[in-house]
Amino acid sequence: MSTQRAKLVVGNWKMHGRISENAALLTEVAAGASALQKDVRVGVCVPCPYLAQSQALLGGSVVKWGVQDVSAHAGGAYTGEVAAEMAVDFGVTYAIVGHSERRAYHRESPELVGAKTLRALEAGLTPIVCVGETLEERESGATEQVIGTQLDAVLALLSEEQAAGIVVAYEPVWAIGTGKTAQPEQAQAVHAFLRRKLQEKGAAVANALLLYGGSVKPDNARELFAQGDIDGGLIGGASLKSKDFLAICRAAQTALQ
Ligand code: PGA
């Protein structure tokens, strides 16, 4: 292991949850996470209607909460959008930006994802910038070109100091929700490429946390998190069950030891 960086495990609930069901999940995660060592950080990115509930149940615990998207605008006539500043009103720490589901279903361009990242940073949030290639792109050998373009569009808008405050999540589109995980060495190779790109932005940026996402489960998390440039995970399906999510958090702790 080449690094002293902290580990970070963030749940991405996507469009799941109900007030009645969230309470148990949030309290169980808060209780379980309290037993982790402090260089394992934990977050959950919930749908916006559940931010107040997350703040009420996670406030004072070690678990931070976040949103799954933010507007590129600070405010104004943008029906349906949520500004980063509004999330801040609910004590939010993390903002996922550029998730592949938003790039695909909402046609978010690399430039728009860059603008959202900048807005999140300016509001005081930690953006989790998602990058990833489709199966076709991987098979045609375009992985580095695709994720390089996605990351460059973000870094181009940020100062070195701002860039040092982002988290990057590598999520191969073919691994999300499919049960197909990238092999740990395959993921590590992409993370090493991303690490080099961050380093090019400046020495301070080289230690930005790099998460892997895409069918991370309790039984594969440990091996993934043991890779030198994988600093944790962005967890979809398995973040909806406290037992699985906490097992993944403990795998991050094991990888640190
Ligand atoms: P998954 O989702 O863990 O269900 O594959 C990950 C994500 O989309 O962030």
Instruction: Convert the pLDDT of each residue in 34-69 to its tens digit.
Output: 999 989 999 999 999 999 999 999 999 999 999 999
Q: How far is ligand 1, taken at its centre, from the CA of residue 235, in Å?
A: 5
Q: What is the pLDDT of residue 1?
A: 40
Q: What is the pLDDT of residue 3?
A: 52
Confidence of residue 181 (pLDDT cuts 50, 70, 90): confident
Pocket flag, ligand 1, residue 17 (CB < 6 Å): no
Q: What is the pLDDT of residue 257?
A: 81
Q: Would residue 73 show up in a list of annotated catalytic residues for this protein?
A: no
For the chain, how big is the Rg over CA atoms in Å? 17
Domains present along the chain, CATH in parentheses: 7-256 (3.20.20.70)
Q: What is the pLDDT of residue 180?
A: 85
Residue 170 DSSP symbol: E
Instruction: Convert the pLDDT of each residue in 64-89 to its tens digit.
Output: 999 999 999 999 999 999 999 999 99
Pocket flag, ligand 1, residue 11 (CB < 6 Å): no
* Cα 119 from Cα 112, distance rounded (Å): 11
Which atom of ligand 1 is closest in space to residue 169's alpha carbon?
9
> What would the two tokens of residue 147 be?
């994720």
Which atom of ligand 1 is closest in space to residue 101's alpha carbon?
8
